[in-house]
Chains A and B, each alone.
Chain A
Amino acid sequence: MHIAEGFLPPLHAAAWTAAALPFVIVSAWRVNRLMRDQPQTKLLLAAAGAFAFVISALKLPSVTGSCSHATGTGLGAILFGPAVMALLGTIVLVFQALLLAHGGITTLGANVFSMAIVGPWIAYGVLRGAQGLNAPLAVSVFLAAMLGDLATYTMTAGQLALAFPDPASGIAGSFVKFLSVFAPTQLPLAVVEGLLTVVIVNFLREYSGDELQILKFPSPTVAVEARS
């Protein structure tokens, strides 16, 4: 899902940066408030960020004979609420853009939008929806992380399609083309991300009951709003 440096026309790069910026600012404010009001969850927040860090560094092979990587942003989104992940995802993407020539500074806004905003919000929405339907927690968590991962790559395909419409079939044709590059490779990796996220949540339910209680996980309230 990393759009490489310079691979979005200037206007698109600027528009995605403008779209992502308010989310990152609100996210920084939320993280700040979380640190102040619920300092007991600091270490868990670091662990959720670390999960995204390690999982997005691993380029895994897929059945298609290509490689790709998971995003790891679903875990933090379902624990802390999606808003918090915009900042954590941005930190990961800046590290990769500056030190690894992976992604880029001009495409940072677009990449933040797909990995640190759309993915977490979809993951969070899926968890809420699945819990609303009384699905078992493990199933809800699995679906949330998996679909959040796929949503990120779908968003990237959309961003590329908007910037590079196919001369014959337009934006829609281009979207299908980019999605067919990402989706078959990503599907098994999204399943792996879903499984790993369930493993971590299982652990947390066993050993981190106090933090989950503070965050009111998995009951349906936005974690940061829960103080009063």
Chain B
Amino acid sequence: MNARNGGLLLLAVALVVGSVWLGSRREGAEFTGSDGQAMAAVTTIQPDYQPWFGFIWEPPPEIASGLFALQAALGAGILGYYLGFKRGQAQGRRKHSDAGD
């Protein structure tokens, strides 16, 4: 499983890195978000559309990057805890059964 998963992860990383490489060769590539581009497309279809409700709170850019990092860290932290816990549990079981032989 380890070799196979390693290969899959490498492939995922290669896809992302390849995307940056290919993407940045394109004219005017600024890696803006596709969500933002879609909202811009709204205003090309209906130039007079005004968002009728604003954000309740919009974090300043520096704080926003911190909160994005916090979101990723919380997710990765819990996921990593689970994966480590299960691996340790399996190893403990194996050791236990070895000792019992």
Contact = CB atoms under 8 A, between A and B. Distances in A.
Given A43-B85, A50-B76, A106-B53, A160 B5 contact: no
Interface string B52-64: 1111111100001
A181 B34 contact: yes
A66 B71 contact: no
30 contacts: A5-B51, A5-B54, A44-B82, A46-B82, A47-B83, A50-B76, A51-B75, A51-B79, A53-B72, A59-B33, A61-B16, A61-B19, A61-B23, A63-B19, A65-B29, A65-B30, A65-B31, A66-B32, A68-B33, A99-B57, A157-B38, A164-B49, A178-B38, A188-B15, A195-B15, A198-B8, A199-B9, A202-B1, A206-B1, A207-B89
Given A50-B76, A65-B26, A68-B34, 7 more contacts: A6-B54, A10-B52, A47-B82, A60-B19, A100-B67, A181-B37, A203-B86
Interface footprint category on B: 35 or more
A12 to B, nearest CB: 11
Contact of A57 (B8, B53, B56, B68): B68
Nearest to B22: A63
Nearest to A203: B83
Contact of A61 (B11, B31, B38, B76): B31
Interface of A: 1-7, 9-10, 43-44, 46-47, 49-68, 95-96, 98-102, 104-106, 156-157, 160, 164-167, 174, 177-178, 181-182, 185-186, 188, 191-192, 195-196, 198-199, 202-208
Secondary structure class of chain A's binding surface, majority of residues: helix
Given A61-B31, A160-B38, A203 B52 contact: no
Given A100-B68, A202-B5, A178 B51 contact: no
Nearest to B86: A207
Contacts, number: 185
A151 B76 CA distance: 25
B45 A166 contact: yes
B39 interface: yes
